A and B are shown apart, each in its own frame.
Chain A
Amino acid sequence: MKPVQRRFQPPWSRPSSLQQRLRTALARQPVRRNIARAMNGLVDKRRAAFPDAQTLEALRDQGQAIRDQALDHLPTLLRELEANCTANGIQVHWAETPAEANAQVLDIVRAAGADAVLKGKSMVSEEIGLNAALAAAGIEALETDLGEWIIQLAGEAPAHIVAPAVHLSRQEVAARFRTHFPELEIGEDIADLTALARGLLRDRFARMRVGVTGVNFLVAETGSLCLIENEGNGRLCTTLPEVHIAITGIEKVIARLDQLPPLLRLLTRSATGQPATTYVNLISGPRRTSERDGPHEVHLILLDHGRARMQADPEQRAILRCIRCGACMNHCPVYTRVGGHGYGTVYPGPLGAVLEPRLQGLQLQGELAEASSLCGACAEVCPVRIPLPQLIRRVRRDQRARQARPGLWSLWSRLQARPLQARRFTRALAGLAPALNVALRWLPSPWTRSREPPRLARQTLADLAEQEGFADD
């Protein structure tokens, strides 16, 4: 590949770290091909799973109403959940920050005398950096979901919240397995690769003392944790170890058990087009006295990490309705081109653009909201009708309010507030148009890197309008 000659870049047009990440992601053609193919497939599967538009719209109304009710009564429901979980024998812990949540997990793991934990797929555990925190304390975290295990072997972050290894082809998966298990004969057949994972992990399942998982829904009424999955690794993580630790955000609660079926219907069909996942688990406590299996302890860690602040804001609250199906990213023209790694955050896509600036702060992640064309596809498919473009604009607005306006722009806005002076100024600019047009051609800016520079007209719009006989009012 020929090295690209870059023009001089003045400080105001240097790419930010997000822009650099996006550029790197855009240059990775094989990854883009894998992601685009997968996303097209998921879009088709979702469409086929909702054949009737009217039924879908009624279901979305229902989903939104259930989640809205839960968020409107969140403090009450969390207290009810805590009381019912406690009555069921589930130990409830509260964490304001990722560091607190990690410390709580670590305490429980140490109390169990374990030096390794089994992990079911959990985005909240990614959000708090649990694996790194455990590793720092000398505790191994073994991912058991096939996709998560593959990227853990590769030392990568998930590229998608539902399909973490979506960016890899079977050849790339096989190559990663070969690097990790040089003693094994490894082909590129998908069934063989899967069988290999089953064999290698099964051995470890039988011996681990702690399992850590996420939660899909918390049912306040019954004090239950709902976990859905296809592989069975989640069930192994919640059945075999002596201790099960479930970690999730405070927003996952719903009021009643009979509200679960419509949400499951929306979640699995929106995510993968499946009418139902292989397993739907409702965990309502540790092993009871007469029982032969199941963990002796179940812990639930409820994480805030900025969620309570979002809940208290009437507009931002809507993002907490999210049931993590990933449909917004599957349909996003930006995500489908750059993939999850382009964003550089745990939650990518439109969801990430709204959530990450609130979790990590506008200063760190506010720019994510710029990685959107505001086309609205995400809001059209969201199963709980989150107005994602509106929330992305809100992040942009908050970001602008936080940043000082550059001097040139504040001059410009002051000028526009005085119509007569503005007119005199633009007329002067039009007079200088020939000279300025030459200068503009050489002005380095991100805009002109891939576009023709704009040209100033020789007459102002106001003058043209006057010539055409329009009145000045």
Chain B
Amino acid sequence: MTNARTAILARLRSTPTGGDPRHTLPGDPMMADSDELLGQFCAALAAVHGEVYPVSADWPARIAAELSAAGLQRLWYGAAGPLATELHSGWPLTTQGATTVAELTPFDQTRESCREALFAGRNAGLTSALAGIAETGSLILWPTAAEPRSLSLIPEVHCVLLERRHIVPTLEHWMSGYCQRTDRPQLPTNWLMVTGPSKSADIEQTLTLGVHGPKRLLVFVRD
């Protein structure tokens, strides 16, 4: 193996070149108006079959209502995650027009023991988002020990709480912002950009939602 490494590196040639391609940010630099960004974000997300709900402090109740309407049994969330406290205090005992409210279930065990439960039954997962990308309707997720990546992957519905002020024009904008920070935090083990629910067009190029990941993506945008 070490031999393979030596042999491969010995075969390669270095060609010194002057250029270091730094990208320029695409799009209109003036487009920073927050209403315009929100409008663009919503349209782009709708185009990829994501759902947008404008919310305020009542967001836990709004999520509960959507989950009840869809007949989901549990909402998984990061037990020590950034949304846990608010979620608990705002979670309703009943929602209008529904007999049951999804049960709040913290993801606080190791994955191996949660796995069966995550795969079984009708679940939703809740995560925060670091940013929204207006151009593509994408969400930047930063999974941590407190808010594991399985939450946005295994349940059939993925709910996201996004702060309106965190919507940026393009991925280039977010990435250059992150890269230029002097105190930039180490990347998580699985940095993620999510754009819409899971989908495939492998059979006759016909779009089908919910192939292996979540079938629905609900984005709750808080003002």
Spell out A's residues near B (CB within 8 Å): 34, 38, 41-42, 55, 59, 62, 65-66, 68-69, 72-76, 78-79, 93-96, 100, 104, 144-147, 150, 163-166, 168-170, 173, 190-191, 193-195, 197-198, 201-202, 205-206, 222, 224, 230-233, 235-236, 238-240, 250, 255-262, 264-265, 272, 275-288, 290-294, 302, 304, 308-309, 311-312, 314
Contacts and interface: CB of A to CB of B under 8 A. Distances in A.
A84 to B, nearest CB: 11
Which of B17, B188, B193 has the most C-beta atoms of chain A within 10 angstroms of its own C-beta? Answer: B193
A165 B23 contact: no
A456 to B, nearest CB: 51
Contacts of B159: none
Nearest to A171: B204
Interface of B: 1, 4-5, 7-9, 11-17, 19-23, 26, 44, 48, 107-111, 114-116, 119, 133, 135-136, 138, 144-145, 148-150, 153-154, 170-172, 175-176, 178-179, 186-206, 208, 210-214
The main secondary structure of chain B at its interface with chain A is: loop
A275 B188 contact: no
Nearest to A288: B189
Contacts of B7: 96, 304
Contact of B211 (A55, A59, A197, A261): A197
Given A198-B210, A239-B153, A302-B8, 18 more contacts: A55-B26, A65-B19, A75-B13, A146-B203, A163-B202, A170-B206, A190-B206, A231-B198, A231-B199, A231-B200, A236-B213, A239-B190, A261-B23, A275-B136, A282-B187, A291-B148, A293-B110, A312-B13
A34 B13 CA distance: 43
A315 B101 CA distance: 64
Nearest to B193: A280
B212 A206 contact: no
Which of A240, A258, A292, A302 has the most C-beta atoms of chain B within 10 angstroms of its own C-beta? Answer: A292
A165 B204 CA distance: 9
Contacts of B195: 275-280
Contact of B200 (A146, A294, A302, A312): A146
Nearest to A292: B148
B125 to A, nearest CB: 12
A132 to B, nearest CB: 21
Which of B5, B107, B170, B206 has the most C-beta atoms of chain A within 10 angstroms of its own C-beta? Answer: B5
Nearest to B207: A190
B169 to A, nearest CB: 12
Contact of B149 (A145, A239, A261, A286): A239
Contacts of A256: 179
Q: Nearest 8 CB-CB pairs, A to B?
A: A232-B213, A147-B202, A308-B11, A293-B111, A65-B21, A282-B191, A232-B212, A290-B145
A287 B110 CA distance: 11
Contacts of A231: 198-200, 211-213
A276 B44 CA distance: 10
A422 to B, nearest CB: 44
A265 B205 CA distance: 21
B200 A257 contact: no
A176 to B, nearest CB: 11
B200 A194 contact: yes
Nearest to A197: B211
A99 to B, nearest CB: 11
Contacts of A286: 189
A198 B200 CA distance: 11
B199 A230 contact: yes
B212 A72 contact: no
B13 A311 contact: yes
B189 A294 contact: yes
Contacts of B189: 283-288, 291, 294
B212 A202 contact: yes
13 contacts: A73-B14, A144-B212, A147-B202, A190-B203, A197-B211, A235-B212, A260-B175, A261-B23, A276-B136, A281-B191, A292-B114, A304-B11, A312-B13
Nearest to B12: A75
A232 B133 CA distance: 20
B175 A258 contact: yes
Contact of B190 (A165, A236, A238): A238
Contact of B21 (A66, A169, A202): A66
B211 A198 contact: yes
A72 B194 CA distance: 32
B43 to A, nearest CB: 11
Nearest to B145: A290
A55 B24 CA distance: 12
B96 to A, nearest CB: 31
A230 B198 contact: yes
B48 to A, nearest CB: 8
B211 A233 contact: yes
B190 A150 contact: no
B111 A236 contact: no
Contacts of A236: 153-154, 212-213
Nearest to B213: A232
Contact of A69 (B21, B150, B213): B21
B23 A235 contact: no
Given A76-B14, A190-B208, A170 B203 contact: yes
A294 B115 CA distance: 12
Given A93-B1, A262-B172, A283-B189, A292 B202 contact: no
A352 to B, nearest CB: 21
A333 B148 CA distance: 47
A314 B191 CA distance: 36
A159 to B, nearest CB: 11
A208 to B, nearest CB: 12
B193 A72 contact: no
Nearest to B151: A293
B99 to A, nearest CB: 27
A74 B11 CA distance: 11
A428 B99 CA distance: 101
A9 B115 CA distance: 65
A276 B153 contact: no
A276 B70 CA distance: 27
B202 A146 contact: yes
A96 B149 CA distance: 34
Given A232-B153, A284-B189, A292-B148, A258 B176 contact: yes
